[in-house]
A and B are shown apart, each in its own frame.
Chain A
């Protein structure tokens, strides 16, 4: 294979943020349209109350909460790619760090927003700070999510500073120079600054791992601290974490494919990267499957009376089509695809990534709602529609709007900043060149 020589100048011009093309414009317009419809639906919800949703007293949590769990899950990948791989001395993941980190930041942003959307009294959000009680898992969640958000922002921002300096030195993107100056004009690239930044990143990489574990473990405890069938599980923390790493990695694979295609980054996100990510995804999927077996098959073996209706609902009842689609589509088929070397090529990886992400979204729905529809006491003395749950158009619009919003943040970020770290790529290339000499 012909080796393309990457000069500094070529790297810089390849990786600079580019103006939206026709497709980029259409894509952005679609995302904005989805956000606008979601916003309109939310205004309706504010005016009329949560009655506009399909939620009622039994299914008192619906797709807002499952969407929240999905966002928190996907955000964990930031810590995996940036911190875990960095601390274990893996270098090939450098071009993927920023993709993972922006996914983390946008996902955690919308996780926070969607939880406010779910509140009956969003205008009282400040009560959490005025009257917050430490024994409530919600307060733990608020605390760790804010911490995770702050660390993630820094892990996105610090490695960006040298790139901002590069951007400021170019003629392209003149219109954005004001923003670049505001964000990074203090960065002169001195030896001292690099040292401080390196040190800060190392500390943050260590700090973010326990915080990442905490955010998703605590999110799982929102369920596991209750008595309900399907939630009353000691397996939940590990089960959630493994699922989170899987869906996050799936999302990174999808983003890798899309960015590579749209920005012509074949020299930077190579087949090697897909192959390695593919191996990671298989490992994570197998791990998640292991926890799924623990989560579902041990209760099935016992078939406790209180869990029977719930488990039957998942395995052969109303929720069975979604359940089996999520298990096969979101786990087993991707594992089979990625076990083969040919399956770890970009396109099949992209397909597997999409399956994992979509499967994971529905899996979160299956974790939240079926349990609520199987209470201990009969569902009685309530209107008929309380006994089922199907989201209304407002809920779909808001949930899709939040997903579109997260994608919009990523899209706009990639328009303003280089999605592959330029400075780090330069360093890597120089090191490679040194090795060859």
Chain B
């Protein structure tokens, strides 16, 4: 467990540093710009991990909180974060259809409740099997059927495993929606009132998937803008029951914010599986079966009221 924690810290630190380095490249909001020479070194040093993995020392006076990092360019966003391969684990035994995940996702991405990117399905395999709740995000497949059919490369697969959409390029043919066996893609049938004029005026960012544009397709993006900041996707941090785990398969660790597990152990011990993997889509989302559930299924039905 201890080693896991260290690696997680390193993971976050390296993300921050690489974020700083990236931000440093742009002229605006340069975090290394001290705003003149009036900052006096205090002599108190802080140890940091450099991008090369070396431990370096920086004077405390030069440390500033990470500013709102400018979104990476859409060209950069197509490449993905080097060395990463993101993965999600959803523990079905913890879900009671509270849909805090959905609320947070909608709120943070400014999407209407009719167009939920994240849906929680009531599932039941067979007549005599137990029902359960299944939160469903984009599977970020390694063989994404949606990417295969896109005629203009508007939806693409990155080296870190994430499948994103360039809403500035999407022609709105909706072939990807027909191709996705998980039906996770949504279409912006009309101008959304959730997109404020200020937001609409911003250039579209593939990594934040904002602002959503009328006549184009939208979907769960695994929040790569958060990953760049070393933070968890909104659904993961919003779930009070810790249903969602997010992490990097190369580091073999996933976390829901409170608990961190070795990914391979978690999936092995709890018999994790992928949704409809028989289709050959190779999803990046793993489910842990709804065994020994924390809540009875019926508890979740209460949350169905008043919502579609």
Contacts and interface: CB of A to CB of B under 8 A. Distances in A.
B214 A382 contact: no
Contacts of A132: 151-152
Q: Which of B123, B145, B150 counts the most A-chain CB atoms under 10 A from its CB?
A: B150
Contact of A225 (B116, B179, B185): B179
B215 A121 contact: yes
B45 interface: no
Contact of B172 (A51, A121, A137, A227): A121
B274 to A, nearest CB: 14
B151 A139 contact: yes
B102 interface: yes
B262 interface: no
Interface string A108-150: 0000000000111110110110111101111100100000000
A50 B187 contact: yes
A226 B152 contact: no
Give the residue among B154, B170, B175, B216 with the most A Cβ atoms within 10 A: B175
A196 interface: no
A381 B120 contact: yes
Q: Interface residues of B: mostly helix, strand, loop or mixed?
A: loop
A100 to B, nearest CB: 30
B299 interface: no
B173 A51 contact: no
Nearest to B189: A51
Interface in B134-162: 136, 145, 148-154
A228 B181 contact: yes
A133 B153 contact: yes
Contact of A51 (B169, B174, B190): B190
Given A119-B172, A378-B122, A383 B114 contact: yes
Contacts of B223: none
Given A119-B172, A119-B173, A121-B216, A138 B187 contact: no
B171 interface: yes
Contact of B151 (A122, A128, A386): A128
Nearest to B184: A377
Contacts of A58: 183
Interface residues of B, number: 46
B150 A133 contact: yes
A380 interface: yes
A376 B179 contact: no
Contacts of A119: 171-173, 215
A139 B177 CA distance: 17
Contact of B181 (A53, A61, A227, A381): A227
A376 B190 contact: no
A190 interface: no
Given A50-B215, A131-B153, A227 B279 contact: yes
Contacts of B175: 136-138, 222
B156 to A, nearest CB: 10
A296 B42 CA distance: 79
B148 A382 contact: no
A53 B187 CA distance: 13
Contact of A378 (B121, B174, B178, B308): B121
A56 interface: yes
Interface in B177-204: 177-179, 181-183, 185-191
A24 interface: no
Contacts of A128: 151-152, 171
Given A124-B169, A128-B171, A228 B178 contact: yes
A380 B114 CA distance: 11
Interface in A362-387: 372, 375-378, 380-384, 386
B216 A133 contact: no
A376 B183 contact: yes
Interface string B216-231: 1100000000000000
Contact of A137 (B122, B149, B308): B149
Given A120-B171, A228-B181, A381 B153 contact: no
A142 B151 CA distance: 10
B118 to A, nearest CB: 8
A57 interface: yes
Given A132-B151, A136-B149, A139-B151, A127 B171 contact: yes
A434 interface: no
Contact of A49 (B122, B148, B170, B215): B215
A133 B121 CA distance: 34
Contacts of A376: 181-183, 276
A48 B116 contact: no
Contact of B187 (A48, A57, A133): A57
A60 interface: yes
Contact of B116 (A49, A60, A382): A382
A222 B173 CA distance: 11
Contacts of A121: 170-172, 215-216
27 contacts: A48-B190, A49-B188, A50-B172, A50-B187, A51-B189, A58-B183, A60-B174, A61-B178, A119-B173, A120-B187, A120-B216, A124-B170, A125-B171, A127-B169, A132-B152, A133-B153, A136-B150, A136-B175, A138-B149, A223-B178, A225-B149, A226-B145, A226-B178, A226-B179, A227-B279, A377-B119, A377-B121
The 5 closest A-B pairs by CB, nearest first: A120-B172, A120-B215, A51-B190, A138-B151, A136-B151
Given A49-B215, A138-B173, A378-B123, 11 more contacts: A56-B189, A57-B177, A60-B177, A125-B171, A131-B154, A226-B149, A226-B178, A377-B121, A377-B136, A380-B119, A381-B120
